[in-house]
Amino acid sequence: MKPIRTLVVLLLIFTLGCSTMTGSEQRISPGSADSPENVLTPVDYSRYGRPPIPVRILLLIPAEFESFEHVSYYEGNRFRHRLGRDAELEMRDAFGIEFAKVEVWPVQSAARAMEMLSPKDPENARVRAFDYVAIPKFIRVDSLEGKEKYGFEIDLQVEFAANNGSSITIKGHGESIIGKYAESTPDKGAVLTLQYAVSALLDGIEKRRNLFVQYG
């Protein structure tokens, strides 16, 4: 009877579980069709930044990052996800909680953002009024369609360049597998996965809190 009992427990965990992995990865799995876990709620960033890290952040948003889109397919339908715009909004909220001060500037490209770090660049004096310049990018975005389920995987990276020439690179991974009967849609699933990737970024920042204070 013991093997049977163990199997039942594992099945219940798989069916009802909603697991979170701290550090650089966070994951959400579906609940059963009629369970409360099927109500997929947005990620709450308010548990971070207690207290906020006492540094000033300039978040540069390259045009190619802001315009990034991903196309997914589910049950014969095509969905276009404007993840770049969503990521900018999520980072505004998340970094605004995590750090003492955050400003967001759009830039024409990631290459231009890097140029602004050079002491020879005309914008450098304005940039160096901040402790860190943060430049985000998408590393990977995948979507999947399975039998009665769909999901996403998103990898983000943010490079924080400090005034003293050092840098801190933080990566965040988020993934979701959402049942067909969950109270969600592919659009909501994509945004939720993005929020998990941003939350994983915050986990990574928290683990390096002392470095941010030291270099800032």
Q: How many other C-beta atoms are found inside a 10 Å radius of the C-beta of residue 192?
A: 19
Tokens of 6: 């163990």
Q: How far apart are CA 12 and CA 35, in angstroms?
A: 12
The structural domains of the chain, ordered by start, are: 18-215 (3.40.50)
Q: How many other C-beta atoms are found inside a 10 Å radius of the C-beta of residue 214?
A: 11
Residues 6+ apart with CB under 8 A from 8: none
Tens of each residue's pLDDT in the chain, 216 residues? 444 443 333 333 333 233 223 335 555 544 433 333 444 678 999 999 999 999 999 999 999 999 999 999 888 889 999 999 999 999 999 999 999 999 999 999 999 999 999 999 999 999 999 999 999 999 999 998 877 788 999 999 999 999 989 999 999 999 988 876 666 788 889 999 999 999 999 999 999 999 999 876
Q: How far apart are CA 214 and CA 216, in angstroms?
A: 6
